[in-house]
Chains A and B, each alone.
Chain A
Amino acid sequence: MKPNPKELIAPSRLEAPATCRRSGLSAFRSSCQVLGLAALAILSAGLLCAQVPWGYWPPPAGPAPTTPMAQRSAQTTVQSQVTWFQNSTQTASNYGDGGYGIVWQQFQALQGAFNAFKGTLTQRQLSAGANELAELDAGLGILEEAFTNYQQDVADGQSSTSAFNNMCQVLRQASGVWLQEFNSDCSRLQVGWQ
């Protein structure tokens, strides 16, 4: 059975229904609305651009953005990482020999988060907070010493359980002190402020 030729005609060539026919005006209105939306998009982009120096999405590869939002996000990551690190010092003893590795891994993650945080600071903040940032860096170095001390204590004959518990307690408390300093420095350096 041959198909009806009328059925082969593209829909666009079909007779328009009454609603479309009377809408020469409607088509004009639609295109005006599209133009209006485009204008709004440009305005919105202009607004965003004023607050986000790196421009439009996606941000370019290379140096991290130094916007207040990026700073707040990096600050929160450091704070959360300290909490996770502290949690790991509390639970690591349940993992037997693997506990040391877990705590060490969390510590390295904290170092990474802090380095990323520093990457979000403006030149002005880096310069004004050079001493504070050097102290925070040194603080992480002191925390790292606790891992060496643990190994030394075990080599000196202290039981590994006792040495590990000591290390974890020192790390937990000292990282709390470090976090206090970090928070107070962030506030002083106006991290994440508009």
Chain B
Amino acid sequence: MKKIMAQAWKEFMLFRRDKLLILLAVLMPIVLMSLAGGTQSLRLRNVPLLVYDYDNTPLSRTYLETYGAALTFHFTPHAPDESPESALNSWRGRAALIIPQNFERDVHRGDAPVVQLMIDATDSNAATALGNYAQALNTSFAQKSGIGRIPPKLVKMEQRLWFNPGLSNPVYFGTGALGLMLIIFPALLGALTTAKEYEMGTVIQAYASSLTAVQWILGKAILYVAIGLVDLVICFTLGLIAFGFRFPSDPTVLLVATVLYLMGGVFFGMMMGNATGNQSAAIQGVQMGSFLLSLLLSGYLFAVRNIPVQIRWISSFLPATHYIGVVRNSVLRDVGWATSFQPIVALLILAFSFFALNVIQMRKMQFKA
């Protein structure tokens, strides 16, 4: 134990001297988390809508008001002779609403006029949502102005949105961002510290000392897990302030999961450092292996369920997948051990396997040296 602490102390002294690293350790989580949590919103609002009202009657204007009153759309002007195609082509709007001539007359006659909505489907996800939304507005227009014969309602929907009643996106992405932040930095530091020892050749000293592989690895890891915990405090505070996190009623779940997660990250980084023995290659490895894969496949952006089966299995080997699940469970759903037990076991297994791989790598090296 003493030896482990001595090793950790040595690491701390090294870390303290690198001003850039300290600065990054504090700044990176704050800046990245605000960006990762704040920018990735899939909610539509203020979509610029071009209006072509060829009827220009009281009824067509009432129809337009239905769209104007909705927060999703806002009307945007266009030149009088500009066709909807060219306006959409030039990004002057994301959709164009075209009301045909004789709209009012046709409605009064009982012929259903067809209003066209041209949607820029470059972002197909948003486009479908807009299309559906327009249908809903259309129906509500018909109901409000008493057009047509609408059968009596058999059912009406009464909805309750649990855990996130405001359907807030920052809450969802903020929790995911927390998970991402905690994997990037500790893993990077772990990779750097081991790779550096190889580059400088000081790893020979570790071999020559009475330290065992396990002690060497743990000594290094303790410091970086501790730094990760500091980052957790920073990120969580930011989450409470900016992303509407709630303090979980049972914080032990989150704490245990975080420690395991950080261990997984650090051990993974050290593994990359051991394997490459070269700082820049190790950074690249961490960037690919932990950051990029976690960003894509951990459920930070889109639910893991949406990933095609062929590559979905990768996400169960990512600590981030399990950790983000635990964070969402405790911060948003506020459910305790029972629900989070399974991901925590997964985290434990992953952390331990990365650790075991490290030990195996070190043992091999020691025989070689």
| A and B physically associate | no
Binding site for B on A (CB under 8 A): none
